[in-house]
C-alpha cells in the first residue's frame, strides 16, 4: 500500500494525521459550512451585520419552512423529479440495448457506431443548442418537461452506451455461446442471460444519470422558461431574485436544491463510485 500505512509509522505522525484529517476536511468544506450556517440564521443577524458570529437564534424551521411553503421551490423540485426520473429510465432502456448490441456482436461498423456515441458525448453543448432548440420548438415541446427529457435521453445515451458496452465486454462470453448452442433466441439471451448480469452496471448508471440530469443548468435555461416546467437549478435564480439579499433564505434554498443528488450519493455510494471510476483500473 502506498503511502506507508499509518499503523507502521511513528506514534507522533499517527497523532498528527488524526488531527490533520478533521482540520483538512473543515477547510475543504468551508464554503459549504458557511452556507449551512447562514441557512439557520435569523433575518436580523444580516441587518445587524452579524454575519459570522453565532446565530442569535436558531431559525431552521422558519427558514426552511419559507422555502417549502412560501415560494415556488416545491414546484421546481417536482419538475426536477419529473425530468430526472423519466430520463433515467429512458437511458437505462436504450443503452442496455445499444450496449448489448455493441458489446456482444461482431460486425463491420461496430467500432464506428461505438465511436460515434463516444465522440458525440464529448461535444460542446453549444454546437447543439440552436438546432435542438429549433427541433424542440417545431415539435411543440418548447418549455415542456417532455422536451427536456427527450433531449437528455438522447444525449446521455452516448455516455451510457460507452458504459454498458465496456461492462458487457468484461462479462464471460462463454455464457452467451452456451446459450446459443442451446438454441436460445438472441433477444432471450439479452433478457435472461445478459440483463440479470448487468444489474450492478444499471444501478451505477442510474445514479450517475440522476445526478447529471438533476444538476443540469444549461439545457434547462435553453429549453424551458417559467415555473411550470423549469427544474430547480434554473428555478433557484428566480427564487433568489424573489428573496434578493435575504441570505438566510437563499442559503436554505440552495441547500434544498443541492440535497437530492447528495442523498442519492450517500444511499448508493458503492454504485456511484463504481460508475464514476469505471475504467480507472485495468
Contact between 173 and another protein per CB under 8 A: yes
Contact between 273 and another protein per CB under 8 A: yes
- Binding map of another protein across residues 213-242, x = CB under 8 A, - = no contact: -xx-xx--xx----------x--xx--x--
Least distance CB 11 / another protein (angstroms): 14
From the list 204, 255, 257, the residue with the least C-alpha distance to 88 is 204
Q: Taking the CA atoms of 120, 265, 281 and 192 in sequence, report the sign of the dihedral they define.
A: negative
Q: Taking the CA atoms of 156, 85, 264 and 132 in sequence, report the sign of the dihedral they define.
A: positive
Least distance CB 58 / another protein (angstroms): 20
Query: Which position among 85, 113, 203, 227 is part of the footprint of another protein (CB under 8 A)?
Result: 113
Contacts (CB under 8 A) with another protein, residues 53-92:
none
Contact between 175 and another protein per CB under 8 A: no
Query: Which position among 58, 60, 68, 115 is part of the footprint of another protein (CB under 8 A)?
Result: 115
- In this structure, the chain runs to a length of 282
Residue 198 cell numbers, joined: 448487468
Query: Which position among 15, 19, 48, 51 is part of the footprint of another protein (CB under 8 A)?
Result: 51
Contact between 48 and another protein per CB under 8 A: no
Contact between 262 and another protein per CB under 8 A: yes
Which residues have CB under 8 Å from 13's CB, separation 6+? Answer: 6
Query: Which position among 28, 58, 68, 191 is part of the footprint of another protein (CB under 8 A)?
Result: 28
Contacts (CB under 8 A) with another protein, residues 242-261:
247, 250-251, 254-255, 257-258, 261
Binding residues with another protein: total (CB under 8 A): 101
Which residues have CB under 8 Å from 254's CB, separation 6+? Answer: 35, 39, 236
Residue 146 cell numbers, joined: 417532455
Please say which residue, 82 or 221, places its beta carbon nearer to another protein.
Answer: 221
Which residues have CB under 8 Å from 8's CB, separation 6+? Answer: none
Q: Cell numbers 423540485 label which residue? A: 77
Least distance CB 281 / another protein (angstroms): 4
Least distance CB 2 / another protein (angstroms): 5
Contact between 97 and another protein per CB under 8 A: yes
On the 0-12 / 13-18 / 19+ scale of CB atoms within 10 A, 57 is: exposed
Cβ pair 235, 76 in contact under 8 A? yes
Amino acid at each position: 500500500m502506498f503511502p506507508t500505512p499509518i499503523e507502521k509509522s511513528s506514534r507522533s505522525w499517527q497523532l498528527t494525521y488524526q488531527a490533520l484529517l478533521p482540520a483538512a476536511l473543515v477547510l475543504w468544506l468551508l464554503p459549504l459550512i458557511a452556507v449551512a450556517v447562514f441557512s439557520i440564521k435569523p433575518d436580523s443577524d444580516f441587518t445587524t451585520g452579524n454575519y459570522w458570529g453565532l446565530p442569535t437564534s436558531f431559525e431552521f424551521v422558519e427558514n426552511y419552512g419559507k422555502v417549502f411553503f412560501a415560494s415556488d421551490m416545491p414546484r421546481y423540485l417536482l419538475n426536477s423529479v419529473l425530468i430526472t426520473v423519466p430520463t433515467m429510465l429512458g437511458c437505462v432502456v436504450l443503452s442496455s440495448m445499444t450496449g448489448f448490441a455493441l458489446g456482444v456482436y461482431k460486425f463491420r461498423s461496430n467500432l464506428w457506431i461505438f465511436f460515434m456515441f463516444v465522440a458525440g458525448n464529448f461535444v460542446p453543448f453549444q454546437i447543439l443548442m440552436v438546432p435542438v432548440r429549433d427541433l424542440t420548438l417545431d415539435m411543440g415541446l418548447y418549455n415542456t418537461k417532455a422536451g427536456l427529457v427527450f433531449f437528455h435521453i438522447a444525449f446521455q445515451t452516448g455516455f451510457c452506451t460507452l458504459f454498458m458496452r465496456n461492462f458487457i465486454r468484461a462479462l464471460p462470453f462463454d455464457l452467451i455461446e452456451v446459450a446459443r448452442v442451446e438454441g436460445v433466441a438472441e433477444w432471450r439471451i439479452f433478457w435472461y442471460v445478459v440483463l440479470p448480469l448487468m444489474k450492478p452496471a444499471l444501478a451505477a448508471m442510474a445514479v450517475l444519470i440522476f445526478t447529471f440530469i438533476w444538476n443540469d443548468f444549461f439545457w434547462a435555461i435553453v429549453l424551458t422558461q417559467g415555473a411550470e416546467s423549469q427544474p430547480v437549478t434554473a428555478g433557484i435564480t428566480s427564487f433568489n431574485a424573489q428573496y434578493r439579499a435575504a441570505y438566510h433564505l437563499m442559503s436554505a434554498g440552495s441547500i434544498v436544491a443541492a440535497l437530492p443528488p447528495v442523498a442519492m450519493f450517500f444511499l448508493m455510494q458503492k454504485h456511484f463510485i463504481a460508475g464514476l471510476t469505471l475504467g480507472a483500473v485495468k
